[in-house]
Amino acid sequence: MRPAYALALFMLLAAAAVPFATPSDSHISRFEPVQQMRSSDSGPQDSVKPQVIWDEAHSNGWSDSSRTANEINRIVIHVTQGSYAGAVSWFKNSDAGVAAHYTINNHDAPYSSNLNHPEGEITQQVSDEDIGYHDASANTNSIGIEHSAYLDPDDGYRVEGGFSDEMYNSSARLVAWLTFAYDIPVDRHFIVGHVEDEHFGGTSSHQDPGPDWNWTRYIDLVRHHRGFGSELAIDTVVEVTQDVAVHRGPLDSSPTGLQAHAGELYHAVGHCACGDGDYLRIWFNGSESTWVRADALREVPNATLLTVNLSDRYDWLNVRTAATTSGDDIGNVFHGQSYVMASNGTWQEFWFAGRPTAFSHSAYLTERWWEAPPPEPIPGCTNESALNFDANATVDDGSCVFPTPEPVQVPGCTNQSALNHYANATVDDGSCLFPDPEPEPEPEPEPEPEPEPEPDPTVQQTDTNSDDPYVGAVAAGTYLVAMAMMFAGMLAVGLLVILFVTAWTRR
C-alpha cells in the first residue's frame, strides 16, 4: 500500500465523507425500482432513469427521510480513493458510518477488480429521498455520487489512470435525470465537487474530484443528455420587451415559474438555437441555468454591468430588497456573475429575479461599461439596380449582376463607299458624302452606209422579191429542172454501182 494512500484514507475517513476501499468485491445485484419521471416538464433524452444496481448501504451511513424536490438542490461529485466494488462494500460496513447515494465504475482507475464489472456501471445504495452521509452538513439537501478513482496527494491530487469516457457519460446521464427529477439547475453552483462544497460543511482536507476532472466536458455532457442542445457563448445586454417565462433550460416545457418583465435589463451569456427555438441564457437570479426566449428580448446599445467579485470563487453575495442589511434577503449572486446596474451608490441597485429593486453592497461588485459591438458586416450586392440586390447586405462584395443593357445607337454614315463612312456607326443618319460620278463617254458616230452601185443598164436585173407572176414562174421552173437533173445523176450512179458489183461477182 502506498504511504500517501494511508494518509489520504485517514483524512477522508476523519471527514466522514469519502468511502474506504476494502479488499472485498462482494456485490449484490438487485435493481432498485425505477422512479417515475414527472410529466410536467421535458426530461432527459432517454426519458427514464438510467439503470442502476440496488445494494443498500448500512443504516449507520444514512438516515431515513422523505425529501422532496424542493429540498434536494445540489449534486456533489466525489472520488472513492479505491476500487468500485471496494467502495460499495465499505458503505455496507457498520463501521463506515458514511454512504453516498451512487457509485460509478471506472475502468481507467488503477484497480484490476474494476474490470470485473461493466464500464460505467452504477450502484445505488441510498434512496434519493433519504439523507446519505457523504458531505457533512450539506447532506440534508444534496445527492452524493462517487466515482472509482485514486487521487495522488503526492502529485497535487492528480488522478492515476484517468476518468474513462464511459464513466463520464454514465455519470452525466444520471445527473441529467437527477437535475430534471429534482428541479436542479444544470450549472456549476448546483453541481459541485466535494472540494468546492466547504460552505455546506465540508473541510479543506477534501480535494476530490481533483484537478483532472473535466468540468466543462462534464457539464456539456449533462446538458446534452438533458436535450438542451449546443450553447454558443455570447456577451450582450438585453432588454425584456414583454413579460416572459424564465426556463431552467432552452426548452418550452421547462419553466421555473418565474417571469422576467418588460423593461428589465439582463446580461445574456449564452445562446442556443434549439429544437424549441432560439433561447438566450441570462444571469437572472444567481442560477447559471436560466433561459428566456430570444424573441422576447432586444439588445441595448450600452449599459453598466456589475460583476460579482469575491475572494472565494465558491462564495456568494446576498441580494436584498433595500440598500441596507435590514432589507429582506431575496437571493444570492455568485462570483463571476454579472448584472445590469440600475443605480449607483454604496449599495448598488440592479435587475434581479424579475424584481423592480435589488441591492448588494458595492464593495463586492465591479463596474464594467458595456457597449454593443458594431454589427458584423454582411457581404452581398448593395446596388439596388442589380438583379441580385440584397437589402440586408452592408458591404458590397462585388457579386452584383446587372441586366444586359440596351445597345447604344451611334449615328453616322454606314455606307462603306461613302467618303465619310463611320465604322462604329449603328444607324445611318443620312450624312454620307460620295465622290462626283465620272462623265459618261460620248457615243461614237455610226459609219455612213456605202452607196449601192448603180445598176448596169445593159444587164437585165432579176428581182427575186418581185411581185411579177412571170418572174416567179421562171424561178420555180429553174428550181424543178435542177432537182430533176440531180435525181437523174444519183440514179445513174446507183445503176453503175449495181453493174459493177454484178460483174465482180461473176468473175
For residue 237, what is the domain's CATH number? 2.30.30.40
Co-location of 332 and 276 in the same domain? yes
At residue 69's C-alpha, the angle toward residues 264 and 93, to 5°, is: 140
- Report if residue 275 sits inside a domain: yes
Domain count, the chain: 3
- Dist. CA 26–CA 49, nearest whole Å: 25
Q: Which of 482, 481, 460 is nearest to 471 (CA)?
A: 460
Show Cβ contacts of residue 155 under 8 Å, excluding neighbours closer than 6 positions: none
Co-location of 327 and 355 in the same domain? yes
Co-location of 188 and 39 in the same domain? yes
Co-location of 184 and 251 in the same domain? no
Co-location of 390 and 361 in the same domain? no
Q: Do 173 and 128 form a contact (C-beta atoms < 8 A)? A: no
Q: Do 230 and 270 form a contact (C-beta atoms < 8 A)? A: no
Please write the tens of the pLDDT for every residue from 347-375.
999 999 988 788 898 899 999 999 988 88
- Report if residue 451 sits inside a domain: no
Instruction: Answer yes or no: is pLDDT of 21 > 50.
Output: no
- Report if residue 458 sits inside a domain: no
- Dist. CA 102–CA 230, nearest whole Å: 28
Cα 292 to Cα 56, 63, 220, 342, distances in angstroms: 41, 39, 19, 21
Residue after which a domain boundary falls, among 392, 407, 432: 432
For 256, the grid coordinates are: 421555473
Q: Which of 65, 33, 64, 62 is nearest to 49 (CA)?
A: 33
- CATH for 115: 3.40.80.10
- Report if residue 93 sits inside a domain: yes
- Report if residue 367 sits inside a domain: yes
Co-location of 194 and 238 in the same domain? no
First to last CA, the chain: 164
- Report if residue 490 sits inside a domain: no
Co-location of 341 and 408 in the same domain? no
Co-location of 246 and 161 in the same domain? no
- Report if residue 218 sits inside a domain: yes
Co-location of 69 and 172 in the same domain? yes
Please write the tens of the pLDDT for every residue from 383-422.
999 999 999 999 999 999 999 888 888 999 999 998 899 9
For residue 492, what is the DSSP state? H
Give the burial class of 32: count Cβ atoms within 10 A of its Cβ; 0-12 exposed, 13-18 middle, 19 or more buried: middle
Residue after which a domain boundary falls, among 226, 246, 271: 226
Q: Classify the C-alpha dihedral 24-25-26-32 as positive or negative.
A: positive
Which domain range does residue 177 map to? 3-226
Please write the tens of the pLDDT for every residue from 459-504.
555 555 555 666 566 667 777 877 888 888 888 878 887 888 787 7
- State if pTM tops 0.85: no
pLDDT of residue 248: 85
Residue after which a domain boundary falls, among 226, 257, 274: 226
